[in-house]
Structures are given as C-alpha cells and as structure tokens.
C-alpha cells in the first residue's frame, strides 16, 4: 500500500510540474519586418551580442521581471542559464563596460503593449497570452 501511495504521489507531482510549465513565444510588433528567428539569434539579441535583426534593423530586447516564471523558462531554454547565472553574467558585463541587460518591462500584457508601440522591440511572453496584436518569431518549448 505504501509503495502504491508513493508511486501515485510521484505521478501527481510529475503531472503538476509538466502542466505548470508553459511554452514561451518570442514576439515583435506586426509592423516589424524581421524574418522568423532561430534560437541562436534570439540568444544573441538578448545577450546583447548582436544589436540588429537579420534584416539589419535595430533590435531592442525587453525582459520580464525575475519573479515571472516565464523569464526563467526563457533563459533556461535559450541560453541554458538560470536567473542567478544571468544576474552574474550581467553583473560582469556592466562592471567591465561591455553591456547592459534588457530593460524589464513587466508581465505578458505589459510586454505586448510595449512591443506593439515600439516596432524595434523584441520580447517574450507565455504562449497562451499570444493574440492577433503581436507577431510570433519563435516558439520555445
């Protein structure tokens, strides 16, 4: 009986962990003419290694706050780093004068509003928050 109870608990925990995770959509304004991006291109833009979209227009990445779960998922998938590793990366970049992190705008809705009104902006939101007001460049599992 105890073994069955433990198995059931493990199964329920794995279901909860899976359903708590959401896909992340990398978005821009519909007016942004950038082609669909690869994971590597998105990582380069958000790590400030490149400053433009593939078509040559300026790219302005915007972040969600650290406490938003979608941010952790985004950076874990795109660059393979946790929030604390990203903080260490940006501390080093700022200290050495090599760059500044993307500006934190807010949650899904605030990111969408910012991206819509700033054609060079690129952000990420929970895939469930995507609607006709934005254009998706990449879906991250």
pLDDT in tens, 61-99: 999 999 999 999 999 999 999 999 999 999 999 999 999
Residue linked to tokens 């302005």:
60
pLDDT in tens, 115-140: 999 999 999 999 999 999 999 999 99
Rg (CA), the chain: 17
pLDDT in tens, 7-24: 444 444 444 344 345 799
How far is CA 132 from each of CA 14, 18, 27, 28, 77, rounded to the nearest angstrom? 33, 27, 11, 11, 25
Starting at the edge strand that comes first in sequence, how are the strands of the sheet with 135-140 ordered?
103-104, 60-63, 121-126, 24-28, 135-140
pLDDT above 90: percentage of residues in the chain: 84
DSSP letter assigned to residue 124: E
């Amino acid at each position: 009986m105890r073994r069955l109870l433990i198995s059931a608990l493990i199964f329920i925990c794995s279901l909860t962990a899976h359903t708590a995770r959401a896909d992340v959509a990398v978005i821009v304004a519909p007016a942004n003419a950038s082609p669909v991006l690869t994971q590597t291109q998105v990582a380069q833009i958000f790590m400030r290694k490149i400053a433009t979209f593939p078509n040559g227009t300026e790219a302005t990445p915007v972040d969600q706050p650290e406490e938003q779960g979608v941010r952790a998922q985004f950076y874990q998938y795109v660059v393979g780093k946790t929030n604390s590793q990203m903080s260490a990366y940006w501390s080093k970049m700022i200290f050495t004068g090599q760059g500044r992190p993307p500006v934190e705008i807010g949650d899904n809705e605030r990111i969408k509003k910012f991206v819509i009104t700033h054609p060079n902006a690129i952000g990420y939101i929970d895939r469930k928050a995507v609607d006709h007001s934005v254009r998706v460049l990449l879906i991250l599992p």
